[in-house]
Amino acid sequence: MEVVWPRIFGGIKVISSATFHVITTELVVGSFAMAGICFLIKALQAFNFFSTEKISQITDNTGHFALGFGLIATPFAIMTGIASSPGSDVSSPLLINKMFLSMTAAGLALSVLYARYTIGQQVWANKRSSLTQATAGLGASGMMLLTASLGGKFSRNESLFDIFNLSFDTILLMPMWATGIVLFTGLTATMLAVMGLRNRSAIQH
């Protein structure tokens, strides 16, 4: 089954869904990889590494912008991926795991962006909140990169993460302890955002 994205100019074939999926996937992977590097630097800055004002500001702005851009591109990568997949493989465990991981990464990315938007640069004001924000950002980036690696497993039966012997053929890719860590990180980030809003309201009043 061939789906064309889009057909314009009198039905002329412009770009296929498979090609468009490659483009959107590269946008997502590149954005989340850049965000991951920035959040790694922010995590190191919590331990007084690379703790200069210029680097701190650049990594803060770039990391959150890249995370937001990757988040916007993610739905397009998902839709084109589904459209370009053979009909018999839509129910593949690999595709379901890709969907699961990408949605988890999107949830973490949203919590990071929400915390940064509501609290502002004060999210980096102390070590605890800095590590929470950086860990959530790294988690979102890592899961999205793992999602992208499943594409290679699906198309070429090999992945960069094959050395870890992850069970890609089962639906529940993440063990319970990993799910608990993700849930705890998300709840902590949300709690910090709420506390930041309350503190800001108290100062204004």
195 has a pLDDT exceeding 60: yes
DSSP 8-state code for residue 8:
E
Look at the pTM and tell me if it is higher than 0.75.
no
5 has a pLDDT exceeding 80: no
| Per-residue pLDDT tens digits for 104-129 | 888 889 889 988 888 888 888 888 88
The per-residue pLDDT for 36 is: 93
| Per-residue pLDDT tens digits for 141-156 | 988 888 877 766 666 6
Please choose, from the candidates 55, 6, 28, the residue with its C-alpha nearest in 3D space to the C-alpha of residue 141: 28
Query: What whole-number distance in Å separates Cα of residue 174 and Cα of residue 91?
Result: 18
The per-residue pLDDT for 1 is: 42
User: Alpha helix locations (H) across the chain?
Assistant: 17-45, 53-84, 93-119, 127-156, 176-204
88 has a pLDDT exceeding 50: no
| Per-residue pLDDT tens digits for 52-80 | 888 889 999 999 999 999 999 988 887 88
Which residues, 6+ apart, have CB-to-CB distance to 106 below 8 Å? 71, 74, 140
Contact by Cβ (8 Å): 172, 166 = no
Residue 33 binned pLDDT confidence (cut-offs 50, 70, 90): very high
Please choose, from the candidates 177, 189, 158, 172, the residue with its C-alpha nearest in 3D space to the C-alpha of residue 100: 172
Contact by Cβ (8 Å): 38, 62 = yes
Q: Is the dihedral of CA 175, 177, 178, 179 positive or negative?
A: positive
